[in-house]
Amino acid sequence: MLDDMFDYLEHLRERPVWQPIPPELRETFRQPLPHQPGSLDAAHQRFMRDILPHAVGNAHPGFMGWVHGGGTPVGMLAEMLAAGLNANLGGRNQMPVEVERQVTRWVRELFGFPDSASGLFVTGTSMANLIAVLVARTTALGLGVRQRGLAASGQTLVGYTSAGAHGCIAQAMDLAGFGTDALRLIPMDAAYRMDITALQQTIAADRAAGLTPFFIAGTAGSVNTGAIDDLTHLAEVAEQEKLWFHIDGAYGALAMLSPELAPRLAGLEHADSIAFDFHKWGQVPYDAGFILVRDGAQHFDTFASPAAYLHREERGLAAGAPWPCDFGPDLSRSFRALKAWFTIQVYGADQLGASIAGTCTLARYLAQRIEAEPKLELLAPVGLNIVCFRYRAENADALNSRIVVALQEGGIVAPSATVLDGRLAIRAAIVNHRTRHSDIDALLRATLALGDQYTQPSEPQP
């Protein structure tokens, strides 16, 4: 199995990025519950034949569809060790928890946070954003909110983020009981950053209406265009208004690993909390999200609970409090920290940063090629690693969505489609450390060929 996966990673480029799943194959996964044992060999064969060739393909250098990391062989091996150990990282007196604490220290160091900051591995930034909203809520309303709920406060809390923010922030407001209407989506400027004047006006209007502003979420690397909000300015507004300042840095925050990119994230060090993913630009295998909270005590107070079966001791297996389960909703937790620790330990922070900067260099190359090509147009400024563009045509929306599907089905490069200011864009998010100039060239070549083909007069119009 190890050999198969090394072969897979070594020969990725010879495979299609993605290929559609034949209906008959899908059917073979509608079997009744197997009662008798089967052979490991047979299960392995089916994995190789039926599952492996039909994954999303984010390990492939031609994958540019969404902001997905590529993974590494080192991460894969660490996952094997973690699975063999089968550690439960809810807590207790064990070295695996120390590994998570070590990674937390590295994260604090990277983001310039104090030693009192707390950190926790979670599934992804969706969960990390939810945790941040909950800590901000407890900070705004006091510990009693955990017993009495939101309604008892008699206040209507409202939060703020950019209209370009990821949908999981609205979802976090929903899950936390505020409802998505309590999240104000502030318009963006021409560079797709939150318009700070509009933010201040909205806060003032909400206060005048008797509402209680409590939370601002800035974005460092927006999902659509890679835009970075003006974090320094947002931190000032949060400070003046006494609001919790959270940053969704799902993929962008790790740009701190690159000396060339880090200055673009100025202001990040002022955040009250940062959500980000090791599984995107950090290239750690899925899943490996992370939440960092400046004031570890507030974080602890939001989640810790005194259950008898979680009783702590000074010595023995139940020592070592506080435990990871005191900082989030999960009690049973996998050893995600190990694959992050291995990745950082083996590649080193500088090399990870160089791979992040490398994807931005490729994005700039793609943007330059698009600007030099009259048949194509760039639809948003390229700040980091995401390029939104399209083939110019009369019925451009339909044509470009057709191009995206054809590219994906063609298996050479796989961008995705998004909508910017009502216009359909081909979106190339370059995240994978395996992507090269030749993959960018292939994207351009195939896009132009498809666009030319679909605009031929003889061609049935989409």
Ligand X SMILES: *Cc1c(COP(=O)(O)O)cnc(C)c1O
Minimum CB separation of residue 441 from ligand X in Å reads: 26
Does residue number 223 form part of the binding site for ligand X (CB under 6 A)? yes
Instruction: Output the DSSP codes for 131-180.
Output: HHHHHHHHHHH-TTHHHHTTGGG---EEEEEETTS-HHHHHHHHHTTS-G
Minimum CB separation of residue 451 from ligand X in Å reads: 28
For ligand X, the binding residues in 231-250 under the rule CB under 6 A are 248, 250
Minimum CB separation of residue 383 from ligand X in Å reads: 13
To the nearest 10°, report the CA torsion of 206, 207, 211, 215: 80
Cα atoms in the Cβ-side hemisphere of radius 13 Å centred on 152:
9
Minimum CB separation of residue 431 from ligand X in Å reads: 10
41 cis-preceded (ω within 30 degrees of 0): no
Minimum CB separation of residue 286 from ligand X in Å reads: 9
Residue number with CB closer to ligand X (132 or 446): 132
DSSP state of 331: S
Minimum CB separation of residue 131 from ligand X in Å reads: 12
> Among residues 100, 229, 277, 326, which is the contact residue for ligand X, using CB under 6 A?
277
Q: Indicate the SS3 state at residue 2.
A: helix
Does residue number 125 form part of the binding site for ligand X (CB under 6 A)? yes
Residue number with CB closer to ligand X (162 or 447): 162
Rounded Cα–Cα distance for residues 23 and 322 (Å):
50
Residue number with CB closer to ligand X (72 or 125): 125
Does residue number 92 form part of the binding site for ligand X (CB under 6 A)? no
Helices and strands per DSSP (H, E), number in the chain: 14, 11
**Are the CB atoms for 144 and 152 separated by under 8 Å?**
yes
> Among residues 69, 124, 159, 164, which is the contact residue for ligand X, using CB under 6 A?
124
**Residues with Cβ within 8 Å of residue 25, at least 6 apart in sequence:** 50, 54
The stretch near ligand X (CB under 6 A) out of 119-127, 238-246, 302-310, 386-394 is 119-127
Residue number with CB closer to ligand X (67 or 425): 67
Which residue number has the CB closest to ligand X? 124
- State whether the Cα torsion 263-264-265-270 is positive or negative: positive
> Among residues 12, 17, 64, 67, which is the contact residue for ligand X, using CB under 6 A?
67
DSSP lists the bridge partners of residue 215 as 159, 244
Nearest partner of 254 among 352, 131, 128, judged by Cα? 352
Minimum CB separation of residue 381 from ligand X in Å reads: 17
The stretch near ligand X (CB under 6 A) out of 53-61, 191-199, 219-227, 366-374 is 219-227
| Residue entry with tokens 């590994």 | 99
Does residue number 225 form part of the binding site for ligand X (CB under 6 A)? no
Phi/psi at 220 (nearest 5 deg)?
Answer: -110, 90
Residue number with CB closer to ligand X (69 or 451): 69
Minimum CB separation of residue 194 from ligand X in Å reads: 13
Contact residues toward ligand X (CB under 6 A) are 67, 124-126, 166, 168, 219, 221-223, 248, 250-251, 277, 289
